[in-house]
Amino acid sequence: MKDRLEALKVEAIEKINESHDLKDLQAVKVAYLGKKGPITEVLKGMGKLSAEERPVIGAYANEVRDSIQLELEKKQTELENAAITEKLAKETIDVSLPGRPVKQGNAHPLTAVVTEIEDLFLSMGFTIAEGPEVETDYYNFEALNLPKGHPARDMQDSFFITEDILLRTQTSPVQARTMEKHEGQGPVKIISPGKVYRRDNDDATHSHQFMQIEGLVVDQNVRLSDLKGVLETFAKKMFGEDRKIRLRPSFFPFTEPSVEMDISCFKCSGKGCSICKQTGWIEILGAGMVHPNVLEMAGFDSKKYTGFAFGMGPERIAMLKYGIDDIRHFYANDIRFLKQFKNA
Amino acid sequence: MLISYNWLKEYVNVEISPSELADKITKSGIEVEMVESLNKGISGVVVGYVKECIQHPNADKLRVCKVDIGQGEVSQIVCGAPNVAEGQKVAVAVPGAVLPGNFKIKKAKLRGEESLGMICSLQELGVDTKLVPKEYSSGIFVMPSDAEPGSDALEYLNLNDHVLELGLTPNRADCLNVLGVAYEVAAILEQDAKLPDTSITASEEKAEDFISVSIESLEDNPYYGAMIIRDVKIGPSPLWMQNRLMASGIRPINNIVDITNYVLLEYGQPLHAFDYNRLGSKEIVVRRAAEGEQIQTLDDQNRSLKDTHLVITNGKEPIAVAGVMGGATSEVQNDTTNVLLEAAYFASSRVRAASKDLGLRSEASSRYEKGIDRNRVYAAAKRAAGLMAELAGGKVADGIVEAGKREVNMYSVKMDVSRMNNLLGTTITSEQTAAIFDRLGFSYKESNGIFEVVVPTRRPDITIEADLIEEVGRIYGYDRIPTTYLLSEARPGGLTASQAKRREIRKYLEGAGLYQAVTYALTTPEKSTHFSYTEDAVYPISVAHPMSEERSTLRMSLLPQLLEVLQYNQNRSMEDLAVYEMGSVFINRQEVLNDLPEEYVFVSGAVTGVFNEHLWQGERKTVDFYVLKGILEGLMSELNLSERITYESGEIENMHPGRTAVVKLDGIPVGLVGQLHPALQKEMDLKDTYVFELNATSLIEAETDQMVYQTLPRYPSITRDIALVVDQDLPAGDLFTVIQAAGGELLKEVNLFDLYQGEKMEEGKKSLAFSLKYFDPERTLTDEEVVTAHNRVLKSLEEHFGAQLRK
Ligand SMILES: [Zn+2]
């Protein structure tokens, strides 16, 4: 009987190994381990055996059954893996085909530059002040030390709507309004970005509408040297750590002393190139110590308070930063132009 | 302002190069915009003497000259200039010479005659045509007879000079003349400024015997001085003077006119020379013009004056517009022998009014407008009279006939050194300060660090302490001021809620596929009123003096300009476009604009063409109403306003009447979304275009609850689907409203998942399928509760719309 079991085992394992798919394997399983299979048959004949032989053969039969079972399982795993591999092979796609585009726009380059500058000053403790684009003559000029008939008004040919209402020519009226709101109490620490308007013919370097960002700090003991510190931080963050700055005396009606700030050329590092017109320096912004008249008009005691103000043009900064040669590009909104500022 | 480097050196000792000088001037306050070399690449041009000049045998327009070019060397040169003649001293470019534009001179044969070089005009030497004296404008330039043949012609013509172009700010009108710049340079270089010679030898005759002067208003004309110079001989001014005028951008005319211009440039004092014999009287009366009074000016134009203009008269009629232009009748001409020289101080407001109204801006008028030095008027008059004697052979009558006050007193301004150091962040000592005032030529008294500075009249820009602080600071050098950081307490900066939300809206729209545009706020009057969705009467706001009709009126909507952006891009073959803008619009409800108009931030978008595309997978979705509405719904969800927003079909000018919704917040219109009216699309040559416009100010101001975290559902929800048959024209939005209301608390979500309106439906009907999700965050719902709520929904739908379940 043992021989018979041994033969069955060899035969079954042979069949298992010959199976090509799970169906074949199932058939083998039923054929050898089923209730009507040969091993069951053998076990049924055990009654004829002696009491000593019975447990021995029984144990052996179980052993045979277990090893067939084991082989079956092994083969089954093997076949299943093969089936999966085959299925996956059929599912293969061409990964080199282009993906489905995700629609994504981006900010206008001027917004990108303004946001960058805003964030920089926010990190230095400034807040952002805003005001109307249609302004009164008082806030746009008079409160800024530009009384009617002042020759410096000619520097800014304005779009008047009525005798007293105009499109603001600068964002400084926001400073005047903010100071007024503080009712003579410092500190004031703001920047004011926004659109401004001047009667200019649009050409490569002029635009009747453009942007400005101005800054204002009013407090006790504010010094020109502090302005230098703030502007140096700005220049390094905006144009690179190794930028140097230079202040030149200048004139603005609402500051005294007034300065113009140049940065060392970021293209040639001061050696001289076409961007810096061979001077090694690039003019970036105007600034100065707030004129005592302006402080007084806004209700601050100019004996107690001092302040500084600065103003710059985002168009100019964007043109320098990205090498844009014509200011009109900003307002034409050619989509091929706008798309280039994805990463700005 | 153009400043000749050589001329400047006459008044101040300059030992550095023009570009080094320019750098120093720029650093201490006056921007030198350009340093221009008058030698535009010339070499090898010498003085020649035309010994002989005969007609070219083979060419009518050419002459053959024998020219002595020094050391006895005589060259034959063929010359085409009509004014070349025997006996002239001329500029000769010899073979091997180079002229501007890298033009090399070689030996040549012209119509068979050898030519060893070229006789030059000033233009050929790089001088601007409009500066060349008229008699030489179409020929060669003739040099003074004492020029030495063979010597460097550029020296004679001052073409080795450099010109500094100053960009002057309005406060530095004192540098609108060579002397003013000399004072500035003297302060920078620690030198002294030397003044020109103003001494004159007067004749026996007395000026007062020739003329009397009276002024009607000392406010309009605080001072008027007249000098008489007799027996002048009109002719060209000397070459050195012509050279300096040309270097400064002024064309030489004749000696008398050139002298007035020369002194104008030197002192900044406008002067006028009248032909005394043609005055028509022996008196000068300065008065306001009568309204409509006529004068023929030097340029032979007849001009009608206003009563805001100031005129110089001979007692009867105007002979000049004060500070602006002289009259034609009393103009200095070639036969003029006696000159009346005017040196006056006119109020800048009078000069500005006349110059503006008459459209005449001159070197003189612009100086009066910016303010001249009152105390320099007399010196300038003497300087000019002296030059007229010296260079035109005139005899200066004794004295100056004047009205008004010749000079004004100087005032003083105080400055505290410690306050200066506090303002600048410096530690400048009193001694250093005193030295700087010395360099500037300001006199002062000092005690305990308080300076009392007497301000020279040439510097009227200095009126307060801060002005003096600036003077000290700039001469001390801004590069020597330290860099410090604000002492004030650090406070956190940050965006306001509104600013943060505007950024959020922009980010959202960009994430949704729209590119940000920035357009002009000024548009045409017609376009300014387009796309208005409010009922109120609004009045367009136009600027008084627009640059063009195109940019004359403030926008009330961003859409007209966004449509122009689409047009611009479509014209460049870009068909699929999605743009948005965020910007201010201006609403005026006043018939006459007395108060500032209302300003709102609008956010608007315009989309045309394919919006989503994945070609090889066959996906190509053109924009439609629902694409834009989806974007708005997402935006409202971002702003936490979804539940307060409704979309109601509405008719808006320029919008498709059947494809437009008014967007309402709590029932109040805040915007629109829809397709452009096909008529407008056609007019603008646009493809199907969908737009939206929202009043961002209103959306941002709408109070929204702070976001509160909702616990995640722990109990299962139950979903029921229903398919309804309703009338074709019933808006789906109405169904949503009724379902939501009838479903009550437990109904948490309603989604439309199918819309069918095809042939299988009964005429005039459509079918909509909704999925309704019920749940309670606190417990598991029972079947009964759901059935009750759901039946309520079905009943309500039937009652409201006769909606039937689709079989
Ligand atoms: Zn450079």
Which is more confidently placed, A11 or B606?
A: B606
Band of the pLDDT at A269, cuts 50, 70, 90? confident
The amino acid sitting at A311 is G
Backbone angles phi, psi at B730, to 5 degrees: -75, 120
What is the edge-to-edge ordering of all strands in the sheet holding A209-219? A127-128, A188-197, A209-219, A306-312, A281-290, A255-264, A245-252
Among residues A137, A169, A179, the alpha carbon closest in space to that of A301 is found at A179
Among A18-22, B107-111, B310-314, B703-707, the range scoring the smallest mean pLDDT is B703-707
Alpha helices, DSSP H only, in B58-136?
A: none
Rounded to two decimals, what is the model's pTM? 0.83
What is the average per-residue pLDDT within B257-286? Answer: 96
Mean pLDDT of chain B: 92
DSSP state for residue B368 in the 8-state scheme: H
> Distance from the CA of B23 to the center of ligand 1, in angstroms?
16
Give me the pLDDT at residue B777, please. 82
Which is more confidently placed, A8 or B6?
A: B6
Band of the pLDDT at B329, cuts 50, 70, 90? very high
Alpha helices, DSSP H only, in B658-772?
A: 678-684, 696-701, 732-743
Sign of the CA dihedral running B299, B302, B306, B310: positive
Which residues are found with C-beta within 5 Å of the ion, ligand 1? A 265, 267-268, 273, 275-276
Query: Considering only residues 337 to 356 of chain B, which have any Cβ-Cβ distance to chain A shorter than 8 Å?
Result: 348-349
B580 and A106 within 8 Å at the Cβ level: the answer is: no
Contacts of A246 in chain B (CB under 8 A): 27, 478-479
Band of the pLDDT at A12, cuts 50, 70, 90? confident
Contacts of B470 in chain A (CB under 8 A): 249, 256-258
Distance of alpha carbon B656 from alpha carbon B679, whole angstroms: 9
B301 to B265, B329, B360, B362, B522: CA distances (angstroms): 26, 12, 11, 15, 38
B41 to A132, B160, B776: CA distances (angstroms): 54, 10, 91
Catalogue all structural domains in chain B, each as residue range(s) with its CATH number.
2-38+162-189 (3.30.56.10), 43-156 (2.40.50.140), 202-404 (3.50.40.10), 413-480 (3.30.56.10), 497-701 (3.30.930.10), 718-805 (3.30.70.380)
Band of the pLDDT at A309, cuts 50, 70, 90? very high
Give me the pLDDT at residue B631, please. 96
* CB distance B693 to B653 below 8 Å: no
In this model, does residue B528 exceed pLDDT 80?
A: yes
What is the average per-residue pLDDT within B17-27? Answer: 93
A74 to A38, A46, A60, A221: CA distances (angstroms): 21, 30, 21, 87
Residues 6+ apart with CB under 8 A from B480: B426
Specify which of A203-217, B717-731, B750-764 reaches the highest per-range mean pLDDT. A203-217
Band of the pLDDT at B619, cuts 50, 70, 90? confident
* B304 DSSP β-pair partners: B294
In this model, does residue B535 exceed pLDDT 70?
A: no
Contacts of B504 in chain A (CB under 8 A): none
DSSP string over A256-303: EEEEEEEEE-TTTTTS--TTTTTSSEEEEEEEEEEPHHHHHHTT--TT
Give me the pLDDT at residue B705, please. 65
- pLDDT digit string (tens) for A105-116? 999 999 999 999
Contacts of B478 in chain A (CB under 8 A): 246-249, 259
> What is the pairing mode between strands B689-695 and B598-608?
antiparallel
> Distance from the CA of B163 to the center of ligand 1, in angstroms?
24
What is the average per-residue pLDDT within B167-185? Answer: 93
Give me the pLDDT at residue B750, please. 92
Distance of CA B388 to the CA centre of its chain: 41
Give me the pLDDT at residue A154, please. 63
B786 to B41, B744, B769, B773, B775: CA distances (angstroms): 97, 11, 18, 10, 9
Residues 6+ apart with CB under 8 A from B413: B452, B453, B455, B462, B463, B464, B465, B467, B468
Distance of alpha carbon B148 from alpha carbon B748, whole angstroms: 106
Q: ipTM score of the complex?
A: 0.85
What is the edge-to-edge ordering of all strands in the sheet holding B412-416? B412-416, B450-454, B443-447
Among residues B240, B235, B213, the alpha carbon closest in space to that of B225 is found at B213
Give me the pLDDT at residue B534, please. 64
Q: Output the six-digit token pair for A50.
A: 């002696």
A257 and B513 within 8 Å at the Cβ level: the answer is: no
In this model, does residue B703 exceed pLDDT 80?
A: no
Give me the pLDDT at residue B32, please. 92
Backbone angles phi, psi at B236, to 5 degrees: -70, 150
Give me the pLDDT at residue B430, please. 96
In this model, does residue B533 exceed pLDDT 70?
A: no
* CB distance B94 to B80 below 8 Å: no
Q: Measured between CA atoms, how close is A90 to chain B, in angstroms?
A: 20
Residues 6+ apart with CB under 8 A from A125: A189, B490, B491, B492, B493
A249 and B467 within 8 Å at the Cβ level: the answer is: no
In this model, does residue B530 exceed pLDDT 90?
A: no
Give me the pLDDT at residue A72, please. 87
Distance of alpha carbon B131 from alpha carbon B646, whole angstroms: 72
Among A106-120, A260-274, B447-461, B677-691, the range scoring the smallest mean pLDDT is A260-274
A333 and B568 within 8 Å at the Cβ level: the answer is: yes
* Count of A-B CB contacts under 8 Å: 244
Band of the pLDDT at B706, cuts 50, 70, 90? low
Contacts of B485 in chain A (CB under 8 A): 226, 229-230
B658 at A interface, C-beta within 8 A: no
Query: Considering only residues 614 to 643 of chain B, which have any Cβ-Cβ distance to chain A shorter than 8 Å?
Result: 614, 616-617, 619
Residue A174, CA atoms < 13 Å, CB-side half-sphere: 28
> What is the pairing mode between strands B395-398 and B202-206?
parallel
Which residue in A has a C-alpha nearest to residue B485's C-alpha? A226
In this model, does residue A151 exceed pLDDT 70?
A: no
In this model, does residue B194 exceed pLDDT 80?
A: yes
Band of the pLDDT at B487, cuts 50, 70, 90? confident
| The CATH homologous superfamily of the domain defined by A109-341 | Bira Bifunctional Protein; Domain 2 (3.30.930.10)
Give me the pLDDT at residue B351, please. 95
Give me the pLDDT at residue B489, please. 66
Contacts of B628 in chain A (CB under 8 A): none
Distance of alpha carbon B566 from alpha carbon B575, whole angstroms: 8
Residues 6+ apart with CB under 8 A from B230: B203, B205, B337, B338, B339, B394, B395, B396, B397
> Distance from the CA of A215 to the center of ligand 1, in angstroms?
27
Among A17-26, B432-441, B478-487, the range scoring the smallest mean pLDDT is A17-26
Distance of CA B105 to the CA centre of its chain: 44
DSSP state for residue A186 in the 8-state scheme: S
In this model, does residue A252 exceed pLDDT 80?
A: yes
Give me the pLDDT at residue A166, please. 95
Band of the pLDDT at B613, cuts 50, 70, 90? confident
Q: Output the six-digit token pair for B166.
A: 């100053």
Distance of alpha carbon B660 from alpha carbon B674, whole angstroms: 4
Residues 6+ apart with CB under 8 A from B769: B721, B722, B723, B724, B752, B753, B754, B755, B806
> What is the pairing mode between strands B747-756 and B765-774?
antiparallel
* CB distance A199 to A157 below 8 Å: yes
* B691 DSSP β-pair partners: B606, B674
B486 and A333 within 8 Å at the Cβ level: the answer is: no
Q: Where are the domains of chain A?
A: 2-91, 109-341
- pLDDT digit string (tens) for A64-105? 888 888 888 998 898 889 889 988 989 988 889 889 888 899
